[in-house]
Amino acid sequence: MYAPPVAQSTTAPAPTFSLQTLREVLAELEPLHGGRAVRAATIVACRAIVPGASGQAWYVQSETDPGRDYIVCCARGFDHWCCGCKDWERRGVGLGACKHILAVRILRECEARERGPEPPPIPFPFPALPVDEPITYELTPLGLAATERAPRRIGAGDGVCRHQCPGCRTLHEHPAACAYPAMPQLCDRCYEREYGVTKPAARAARAA
């Protein structure tokens, strides 16, 4: 049977924020929640609040019975809170938060104020180059060797497109106005071996 951890003062560190911060947060909540906010601040100062592993639950030590915990949960993204205490069961969602929920909210707000604003994101380590300017990086000898091995189109300037076959690496010629002048193309022999039909037959079938 699963037993939740007990949020005793010996297992949870004391709050690190100042009393002044706690008073400022309490001053904002007390007009809205009255005595519950004061009792919640007492829990923050004198009892233990242990966060769960999920980051969406907290074990709040009881104000009146230090040997008992109440589990407070928050649905991430919806700001919907619930608690296992009798006060929350009686009041429900429509009548506001119990003192255990308020204690967690006070604790989180105090910690956030003491921590300060979140730091700006770490900038990308590489400079952003304008898209219309040439890249100034130089290829290493290994990179140059890789480009030499890549299939490429070779134009002789004589009205003929010479393509390197990516299958057998041989050169084959096409008219300068071929359909794919900037792409490597399979030679007739590799095309037939790859697709089981000759190039003229494939072109005739597409034209039909």
The pLDDT tens digits of the residues spanning 29-62 come to 999 888 999 999 999 998 999 988 888 899 999 9
What residue spans define the domains of the chain?
19-115, 150-207
Q: What number is the average pLDDT over the span 16-25?
A: 89
Identify the DSSP state of 94. G
- Among 17-26, 83-92, 96-105, 184-193, the minimum mean pLDDT is found in 184-193
* Nearest residue to 38 via CA among 57, 53, 56, 23: 23
Of 74, 46, 70, nearest to 60 by C-alpha is: 70
What does the pLDDT average to over 170-189? 65
Q: Which strands, in side-by-side order, build the sheet including 160-164?
A: 153-155, 160-164, 171-175
Residue 69: strand, helix, or coil: strand
